[in-house]
Chain A
Amino acid sequence: NAGVTQTPKFRVLKTGQSMTLLCAQDMNHEYMYWYRQDPGMGLRLIHYSVGEGTTAKGEVPDGYNVSRLKKQNFLLGLESAAPSQTSVYFCASRSQVNTEAFFGQGTRLTVV
């Protein structure tokens, strides 16, 4: 049982480049989330989704877009990367009825 899988695990981008981070879960969870983790700041919510075809902004959405075309996948896009987006990105999923959120292993992104 894979749980939550993030692709890629590491990436280095140049300022202005674009990329997409993929999150896939095999637990049939309704809710999915994208967080970023920076030193001393904990995990901050970027965007989230309560179901296929729906997305909503979190605490720090600027510079990111998301899509959830399939229930099991949640994509995070950076259209024009900036050094301030250097961070570790975590995807998480949760079922409607349970409190526990399951996290992926993270994607370490460096923007130079």
Chain B
Amino acid sequence: QKEVEQDPGPLSVPEGAIVSLNCTYSNSAFQYFMWYRQYSRKGPELLMYTYSSGNKEDGRFTAQVDKSSKYISLFIRDSQPSDSATYLCAFTGSGSARQLTFGSGTQLTVLP
């Protein structure tokens, strides 16, 4: 079983739609839960992170974590064509190097 499972998509939605992206994980040692956004031919950039169960909002983006179910989600409201990218969930524990473990990424296209 993989440590992290992420639906690869691709996902195509019309502009203005609500997008839901999800990941499940199996490692109970993960303490930080992140979403990275990666535009085509670019490096990933941190979008949001949290370390507790519940919701965290940042503008049109909401990150949701359910530690009991080992499930995290990213919601995008009022999606825009500029949101078209690959979204990667990422996890890290409390080890000294705190290296990131990534999901395989979901490719999202928002159609104008």
Contacts and interface: CB of A to CB of B under 8 A. Distances in A.
Chain A bound to chain B: yes
Interface of A: 4, 31, 33, 35, 40-45, 48, 50, 56, 58, 90, 92, 94, 99-101, 103-106
Interface string B70-109: 0000000000000000001000100011111111110000
A50 B96 contact: yes
A94 B36 CA distance: 15
Contacts of B49: 99-100
A90 B46 contact: no
B92 A99 contact: yes
**How big is chain B's contact interface, by range?**
20 to 34
Contact of A90 (B43, B96, B99): B43
Contacts of B34: 99
A42 B42 contact: no
17 contacts: A31-B98, A41-B104, A42-B4, A42-B88, A42-B103, A42-B104, A42-B105, A43-B88, A44-B102, A45-B99, A50-B97, A56-B97, A99-B32, A100-B46, A100-B49, A103-B45, A105-B43
B6 interface: yes
B60 interface: no
Contacts of A106: 41-43
Interface of B: 4, 6, 8, 32, 34, 41-46, 49, 88, 92, 96-105
A90 B102 contact: no
A58 B99 contact: yes
Nearest to B34: A99
A40 B8 contact: yes
Given A100-B46, A100-B49, A105-B42, A43 B102 contact: yes
Contacts of A90: 43-44
B6 A42 contact: yes
Contacts of A45: 99-101
A43 B99 contact: no
A43 B44 contact: yes
Contacts of A33: 99-100
